[in-house]
Amino acid sequence: MMHLDEKIWLTLSFGIIMIFMLITGYQAFALEMGPPSHNEILDPQKVDETAPFDEPGIKQIGEKEYEVVMTLQVFSFTPMELEIPAGSTVHFTLTSKDVVHGFQVANTNINAMVMPGHIQKISQKFSEPGEYLVLCNEYCGAGHQLMSTTITVK
Amino acid sequence: MDAAIEQNRRAAVLSEKKNKVLGVCLEDARISKSYLAVAFVALLLGGLLGLLQGLNRAGVLELPAWLNYYQILTAHGLLLVVVLSAFFTIGYFYAGLSHTLGGLLPKVRKLAWIGFWTKMVGLVLVVVPVLMNEASVMYTFYPPMAAHPVFYFGLVFVVLGIWMLATGAFINVAHWRKNHKGQHLPILAFFATGVFVLLVGATAFVAVEVLFMIIPWSLGWVETINVMVARTLFWAFGHTAVNIWYLTAVSAWYVIVPKIIGGTRWNDYLTRVVVIALVIMNITGGFHHQIVDPGISLPIKFMHVFMSLAIGFPSLMTAYAMFRVFERTGRRKGGKGALGWFKKLPWGDVRFLSPFIAMAAFIPAGAGGIVQSTNQLDQVVHNTMWIVGHFHLTLGMSVVMTFFGISYWLVPYLSKRVLTPQMNKLGVIQTIIWTVGMVIMAISMHAAGLFGSPRRTSFTTYGDFAETLGWNPLMTAVGIGATLLLIAVILQVHAVFNMMFFAPKGEVEFPIAEVEKNETAAPYMTERWGIWVVVMMIVIAMAYVLPLTDMIVNAPPGSPPFKTW
């Protein structure tokens, strides 16, 4: 029923899918490059009273290491306009005070969904100096296109 | 065994002859024509809105205050992903059921009409709040963004209509099987069965989301909603829906296109295996839309990478089968050498050209799909214009161009008219314009996405970032693509209504390819739909029970409704 070349084709197809699986698994579990998947909850209607979001801001936690606690709400980020020295690693802790938002920094691998009721975490090392665009990439309402800020790496 | 096969073949030939003598059943044709008419009106409106979006994002069109970008985008998505695709799929498969099963039963015909009007009522209820800017929530309507309750009631009616159509199809198929014991369901009806099984399976999830979660919440009966559960239920539906339209296109690739090029169709057994595989593995694919979500553990996400990639396998089987059929047919027509067969294909026939380009487009489209289903690569492109480029390749080319190709024989067949050489030429021109427009648009969108341009965002420069990040020329190209596409839409809609009402009278065939003469019959196992549905439910349970239970048991306090537009 099957031709030899079809068997070869299907074996290759299966092999490609398996190689994708292996690389994805190796990256996620051995290299700890898994996608942002933090599992912690809070009351979305009491974000301002819940630690750590009662004190949003940027804090140095080590040499060239920073923690940013940030809330997303229509149509802004709190805090806005961050500044860090080049070569810093930044750990973002994020949540939404209203609808679903997306947290993306252009020209980096930062890309995460930020949902009300859930705390999301993502880290990134900023090696190159310059100004980075932070934007919301999930439609969140009439001013969605205005929801952006910057990270300045000096 | 051989006697039984011979008997099957004779019965098939007999029913074919009967259909040829009787031609199309006019009452059944009216059903299909109504569905197709709605589908192509939706294409016209959706295409027009698409042009407005394209020009807005290119930065050359500022929308008036009474018509905002997100309202247009919501309508564009619903008209094309839900209305055009669903109405076309139903019209096409009901014509196929009528043709291959010896006509629709009177009660099925009645169900099809009730389903039609139920869907139309649903559509009006969905469209009115969108027009009034009370439901600018996109095709995905993620809570806690809340539209006017009427929008959700409309969705319920649309789903009810789909269930009626599915029931009708199942009744007709069961009736045929009762009278043809031991025979394989005709292949097009087999595809239809798979499609309607998936439609019921997929819409069940969104029905639970809308009926039991969103409606009580949007009416104020409950104060808050679990946003993660709603989102997860949506994607079990949302991704399957687009895969159903793809499976519909695939049915034409396997069954119709080989006949149009004067060949035989691919091995019957393997064809049925592909259908069964696509049905069983489909619904669990939806999870890859949530790869960068919080609250879902890495092992679950990894399992879902596998479940998503698994769907690639039957598609790779299809890729082989199609080109093999082309080669076989081309060689039989005298094509010599490594690629001589390629020239023997009927390139001037729109009924072949359009679905062929659709298939070719699925090579980059499917490859992009595999790439973006893997964790880390998804993180690069999630919610960027890349994704928009991806589904304009898969839906806008692979699916819709196949539908266009079908329309050039199905509409004349249903209307007892002919496809004139002039209309064929118009179709070829339309196909070329659409292809050029879609290629320009899809490539620019993929590139803009890689540079970080977000999807679902009206024109914005983000200060001067759009310039420095290199988005602007790409978005201009999107606008050019959208302009070409609207020209092609107008030609296509003109062609459909011309063939429906004005083309010269005559008879055209419903092209269904035969199997190879010496082919052994598929085992009867393929016909055991009860088993396949159970296997499908087991796979769905493996994928969803654990994460959904976790989302419900460990849920945060819920969210109240928001209207943010």
Closest CB from B290, B452, B565 relative to A106 = B452
Mean pLDDT of A17-22: 90
Residues B33-66: pLDDT tens digits? 999 999 999 999 999 999 999 999 998 988 888 8
Largest CA distance in chain B: 76
Test mutation, A31, A75, A113, chain B, max B CBs within 10 A: A113
Mean pLDDT of B293-300: 94
Question: Are B559 and B225 spatial neighbours (Cβ–Cβ below 8 Å)?
Answer: yes
Test mutation, B293, B307, B328, chain A, max A CBs within 10 A: B293
CB pairs under 8 A between A and B: 208
Question: Which chain A residue has the Cα nearest residue B147?
Answer: A141
**What integer pLDDT is reported at residue B537 of this predicted model?**
95
Distance from CA of A59 to the nearest CA of B (A): 23
Cα torsion angle, B112, B114, B116, B119, sign: negative
Mean pLDDT of A115-119: 97
A77 SS3 class: strand
Residue B482's contacts (CB-CB under 8 Å, 6 or more residues apart) are: B50, B51, B53, B54, B55, B437, B441
**What integer pLDDT is reported at residue A2 of this predicted model?**
74
**What integer pLDDT is reported at residue B268 of this predicted model?**
93
End-to-end, the C-alpha distance of chain B in Å comes to 66
Task: Report in angstroms the alpha-carbon separations of B243 from B194, B235, B311.
Answer: 12, 12, 10
Per-residue tokens: B505: 């009278």
Separation between Cα atoms, residue B392 and residue B442, nearest integer Å:
6
Is there a contact between B293 and A37 if contact means CB atoms under 8 Å apart?
A: yes
Residue A99: list chain B partners with CB under 8 A. 142, 144-145, 562, 564
Residues B358-407: pLDDT tens digits? 999 999 999 999 889 888 889 999 999 999 999 999 999 999 999 999 99
Residue with tokens 């080049």: A86
Residue A104: list chain B partners with CB under 8 A. 383-384, 452, 454
Residue B565: list chain A partners with CB under 8 A. 141-142
Residue B203's contacts (CB-CB under 8 Å, 6 or more residues apart) are: B159, B162, B163, B237
Residues 321-380 of B with CB under 8 A from A: 324, 370, 374-376, 378-380
Q: Which of A88, A94, A95 is nearest to A132 (CA)?
A: A88
Question: Which chain B residue has the Cα nearest residue A20?
Answer: B374
Question: Are B411 and B499 spatial neighbours (Cβ–Cβ below 8 Å)?
Answer: yes
**What integer pLDDT is reported at residue B21 of this predicted model?**
47
Closest CB from A9, A34, A119 relative to B294 = A119
Residues B458-485: pLDDT tens digits? 999 998 887 788 899 999 999 999 999 9
Task: Tell me what the pLDDT averaged over chain B comes to.
Answer: 93
Task: Report in angstroms the alpha-carbon separations of B74 from A136, B69, B81, B138, B216.
Answer: 18, 9, 11, 4, 23
Distance from CA of A72 to the nearest CA of B (A): 14
Question: Are B383 and B322 spatial neighbours (Cβ–Cβ below 8 Å)?
Answer: no
Q: What CATH class is the domain B2-553?
A: mainly alpha
pTM for this model (two decimals): 0.94
Question: Which chain B residue has the Cα nearest residue A132?
Answer: B465
Q: Which of B204, B259, B230 is nearest to B536 (CA)?
A: B204
Is there a contact between A37 and B295 if contact means CB atoms under 8 Å apart?
A: yes
Per-residue tokens: B39: 């589908």
Closest CB from A6, A24, A36 relative to B320 = A6
